[in-house]
């Protein structure tokens, strides 16, 4: 057993023949085409594009999927080739060629990832700037992280553009939307389409996350701070707002409807709502909690009591 068969001599460097080069290039091309196809397909994995930002993000995502597919298929393909065609036969106990490394190869596969990283990062940066969700003082000044108030705040609006200001209040476990100019409060977020929206996020108790998947927009609401987010809805319809930052027992119930309407319908809604008397909105967390407290046989553990259900003009 200690005696080992010597492998037949294999010269490690045979030099690549033209044929091999062509094969390699052809394979890379096929791979590139497949990857591009997967990249195109990747748009369908995402929710509808209901905001201007979502288009930008989806483009970036598709780009990353394309590149990722190429790398993944390239690496797995190579490994699979070895698995299928380079197995030792049952009684062959010889070694493979003694190849310790290859400087050229190593330099190439260090350089290519560096270039790719720079490419991905630059493109992501570009998209991030285009999304225009960050404040005008974002990049230039260095702010202490914990002092930074508005992560996604107003861009330098070019005067002409009107911005719709809405206050968002988060608490355990409800969302309340206030339209300060019209004096309307609601548990459903109504937005005019094709308008720049500026939300001011506040939280009463713990950290919550404002997240509308169809808009690809997410920002934490942090107690003690005021954080602004901006985006532009572009597609009318009904969407879902979800809490994205775990906030305790009834976290999953902290959802709200988002209604994107034509500016006219939106104004109409504001007007009718402002005339409604504020009433107590239904709140899933509150009702589940009440039931839990009443239950004679406890199957769970004590929970923080939900905040008072919101009292708003409009609720559904």
Partner 1 sequence: MTQISLTPGVSHEGDHPSATHWKTYFSFSTDHKVIGIQYIVTSFFFFLVGGIFAMVIRGELITPPADLVERTVYNAMFTMHGTVMLFLWTFPVLLGLSNYLVPLMIGARDMAFPRLNAIAFWMVPVTGILMMASFLLPSGSAQSGWWSYPPVSIQNPTGYWLNGQTVWILAVAISGVASIMGAVNFVTTIVKMRAPGMTFFRMPAFVWTVFAAQIIQLFGLPALTAGAVMLLFDITVGTSFFDPAKGGDAVLFQHFFWFYSHPAVYVIILPVFGIFSELFPVYARKPLFGYKVVAVSSLIITAVSCLVWVHHMYSSGTAAWMRLVFMLSTMFVSVPTGIKVFAWVATIWGGKLRLNTPMLFALGALIMFVFAGITGIMLAAVPVDIHVNNTYFVVGHFHYVLYGTVTMAIYAALYHWFPKMTGRMYYEGLGKLHFWLTFIGTNLNFLPMHPLGLQGMLRRVASYDPEFTFWNVMASIGGFLLGMSTLPFILNMVSSWVNGAQAPANPWRAIGLEWLVPSPPPHENFEEIPTVISEPYGYGKSDPLVAPVDHGSEALPSEVPSPSH
Partner 2 sequence: MSSMITTEHFLRPIVPERHHDEEANSMFGFVVFLLSESVIFISFFVGYIAYKTSAINWLPPGVSGLEVKEPAINTVVLVSSSFVIYIAEKFLERKNLLGFRLFLILTMAMGTYFLVGQGIEWSNLEFGFTSGVFGGMFYLLTGFHGLHVLTGILLQGLILGRSFIPGNYDTGHFGVNATSLFWHFVDVIWIILFVLLYLWQ
Which residues in this chain contact ligand HEA in the complex, by CB under 6 A?
A: 71, 75, 113, 116-117
Enter the tokens of residue 238: 């009904």
Please report how close the Cβ of residue 301 comes to ligand HEA at its closest, in angstroms.
17
- The one among 17, 144, 264, 298 contacting partner 2 by CB under 8 A: 144
- The one among 147, 275, 277, 294 contacting partner 2 by CB under 8 A: 147
Classify strands 208-212 and 196-203 as parallel, antiparallel or unpaired. Answer: unpaired
Please report how close the Cβ of residue 165 comes to ligand HEA at its closest, in angstroms.
28
- The one among 35, 42, 193, 245 contacting ligand CUA by CB under 6 A: 245
**Contacted by 39, from ligand HEA, ligand CUA, partner 2, none: CB < 5 to 8 Å by type:** none
Please report how close the Cβ of residue 149 comes to partner 2 at its closest, in angstroms.
11
Of the two residues 56 and 189, which places its CB atom closer to ligand CUA in the complex?
189
DSSP for 137-187, please give it: TTTTS---TTT---TT------TTS-EEEEEEEEETTEEEEEETTTTEEES
Residue 310 is given by DSSP the state: P
In sequence order, which residues have a C-beta less than 8 Å from that of residue 175 and are 6 or more positions away?
Answer: 168, 169, 187, 189, 241, 243, 254, 255, 256
Of the two residues 67 and 129, which places its CB atom closer to ligand HEA in the complex?
67
Enter the tokens of residue 77: 């393909």
**Contacted by 75, from partner 2, ligand CUA, ligand HEA, none: CB < 5 to 8 Å by type:** ligand HEA
How far is Cα 226 from Cα 221, in angstroms, rounded to an integer? 8
In sequence order, which residues have a C-beta less than 8 Å from that of residue 274 and are 6 or more positions away?
Answer: 182, 183, 184, 313
Please report how close the Cβ of residue 33 comes to partner 1 at its closest, in angstroms.
19
Of the two residues 70 and 239, which places its CB atom closer to ligand HEA in the complex?
70
Burial 231-247 (b: 16+ CB within 10 A, else e): bbbbbbeebebbbbbeb
In sequence order, which residues have a C-beta less than 8 Å from that of residue 52 and are 6 or more positions away?
Answer: 231, 232, 234
Please give the residues from 183 up to 222 whose contact with ligand CUA meets the rule CB under 6 A. 208-209
Site map 92..131 versus partner 2, x via CB under 8 A: ----------------------------------------
Q: Torsions phi, psi of 32, nearest 5? A: -60, -40
- The one among 69, 150, 219, 247 contacting ligand CUA by CB under 6 A: 247
Question: Interface residues with partner 2 (CB under 8 A)?
Answer: 144-147
Question: Interface residues with ligand CUA (CB under 6 A)?
Answer: 170, 173, 208-209, 243, 245-247, 251, 254
């Amino acid at each position: 057993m200690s005696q080992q068969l010597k492998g037949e001599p294999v010269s490690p460097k045979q030099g690549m023949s033209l044929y091999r080069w062509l094969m390699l290039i052809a394979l890379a091309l096929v791979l590139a085409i497949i990857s591009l196809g997967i990249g195109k397909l990747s748009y369908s994995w995402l929710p509808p594009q209901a905001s201007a930002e979502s288009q930008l993000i989806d483009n970036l995502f598709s780009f990353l999927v394309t590149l990722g597919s190429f790398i993944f298929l390239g690496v797995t393909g190579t490994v699979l080739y070895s698995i299928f065609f380079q197995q030792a036969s049952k009684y062959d106990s010889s070694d493979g060629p003694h190849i310790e490394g290859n400087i050229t190869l190593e330099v190439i596969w260090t350089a290519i990832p560096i270039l790719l990283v720079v490419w991905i990062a630059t493109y992501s940066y570009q998209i991030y700037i285009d999304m225009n969700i960050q404040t005008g003082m974002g990049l230039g000044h260095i702010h202490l992280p914990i002092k930074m108030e508005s992560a996604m705040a107003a861009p330098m609006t070019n005067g002409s553009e009107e911005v719709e200001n809405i206050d968002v209040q988060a608490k355990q476990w409800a969302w309340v939307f206030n339209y300060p100019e019209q004096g309307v409060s609601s548990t459903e977020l109504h937005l005019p389409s094709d308008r720049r929206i500026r939300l001011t996020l506040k939280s009463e108790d713990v950290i919550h996350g404002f997240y509308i998947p169809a808009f690809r927009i997410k920002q934490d609401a942090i107690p003690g701070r005021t954080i602004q987010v901006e985006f532009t809805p572009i597609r009318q319809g009904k969407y879902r707002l979800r809490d994205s930052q775990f906030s305790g027992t009834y976290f999953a119930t902290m959802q709200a409807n988002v209604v994107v309407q034509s500016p006219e319908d939106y104004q109409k809604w504001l007007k009718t709502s402002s005339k409604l008397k504020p009433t107590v909105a239904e709140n899933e967390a509150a009702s589940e909690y009440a039931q839990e407290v009443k239950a004679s046989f406890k199957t769970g553990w004590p929970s923080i009591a939900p905040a008072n259900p919101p009292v708003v003009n409009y609720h559904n």
